[in-house]
């Protein structure tokens, strides 16, 4: 039984939390405690000596789970094992979390048809692979007076790719760039869909 050391924040059980500075074993200062057994059974009010002796007899820890209660509530448990299990659960939860990966495709407002088709095919491949795609139209100099060309180009892309993706963020002018975000249909229908890890793909983020 570890004596008096403190552990970081963990969950004792669903709906019950232990503060990161929770006292354990000989570190508990109360003279008497309301004792809870390893299986959650209510043992009742015991002196701290009795509670420590019971935990020691079971080769477990005594953990102060509700210090503000009168008397404080303590639980008998294998704290080290529980911490380990919580760490494993947190890692598993992170693995299951959705990872949203964006690809970016940059175009000029006066892009020729051949280059446009190449860019569109790249975007098609990104959407089919489950990526969200940020399409950026870059304006230079006097082109800023014809931003409608960029808007038309983005709308054209959205219409041609309607069977693969949906517009998640409408075309928006930001400085000299106009951007639109497209999401694959699988992501649009099922929020938080999983995406493959980012890869270096020819054409990604390139300018024509």
- Determine what percent of the chain is predicted with pLDDT higher than 70: 77
pTM of the model: 0.46
Q: Predicted confidence band at 204 (pLDDT cuts at 50, 70, 90)?
A: very low
Per residue in 106-132, pLDDT (tens digit) is 999 999 999 999 999 999 999 999 899
| φ and ψ at residue 201, rounded to 5 degrees | -120, 130
Q: How far apart are CA 2 and CA 5, in angstroms?
A: 7
Per-residue tokens: 97: 């979390």
* pLDDT score for 11: 37
Give the 3-state secondary structure of residue 114: helix
Q: Which residues are CB-contacts of 142 (< 8 A; sequence separation ≥ 6)?
A: none
Domains along the chain with CATH numbers:
10-95 (3.10.20.80), 102-189 (3.30.110.10)
Give the 3-state secondary structure of residue 81: helix
Q: How far apart are CA 133 and CA 166, in angstroms?
A: 10
Q: Which residues are CB-contacts of 127 (< 8 A; sequence separation ≥ 6)?
A: 133, 161, 164, 165, 182, 184, 185
Burial zone of 49 (CB within 10 Å; 0-12 exposed, 13-18 middle, 19+ buried): exposed
Per residue in 2-38, pLDDT (tens digit) is 444 333 333 345 445 566 677 889 999 999 999 999 9
Cβ pair 106, 136 in contact under 8 A? yes
């Amino acid at each position: 039984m570890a004596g008096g050391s403190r552990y970081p924040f963990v969950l004792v059980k669903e709906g019950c939390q232990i503060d990161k500075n929770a006292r354990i074993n000989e570190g508990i200062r109360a003279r008497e405690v309301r004792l809870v057994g390893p299986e959650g059974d209510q043992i009742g009010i015991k002196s701290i000596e009795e509670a420590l002796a019971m935990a020691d007899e079971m080769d477990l820890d005594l953990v102060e789970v509700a210090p503000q209660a009168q008397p404080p509530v303590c639980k008998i448990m294998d704290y080290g094992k529980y911490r380990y299990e919580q760490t494993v659960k947190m890692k598993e939860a992170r693995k299951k979390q959705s990872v949203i990966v964006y690809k970016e495709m940059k175009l000029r407002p006066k892009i020729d048809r051949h280059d446009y088709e190449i860019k569109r095919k790249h975007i098609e491949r990104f959407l089919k692979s489950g990526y969200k795609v940020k399409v950026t139209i870059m304006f230079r100099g006097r082109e800023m007076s014809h931003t409608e060309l960029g808007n038309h180009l983005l709308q054209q892309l959205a219409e041609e790719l309607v069977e693969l993706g949906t517009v998640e963020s409408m075309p928006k002018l930001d400085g000299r760039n106009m951007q639109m975000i497209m999401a694959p249909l699988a992501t649009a229908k099922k929020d938080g869909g999983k995406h493959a890890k980012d890869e270096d793909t020819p054409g990604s983020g390139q300018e024509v």
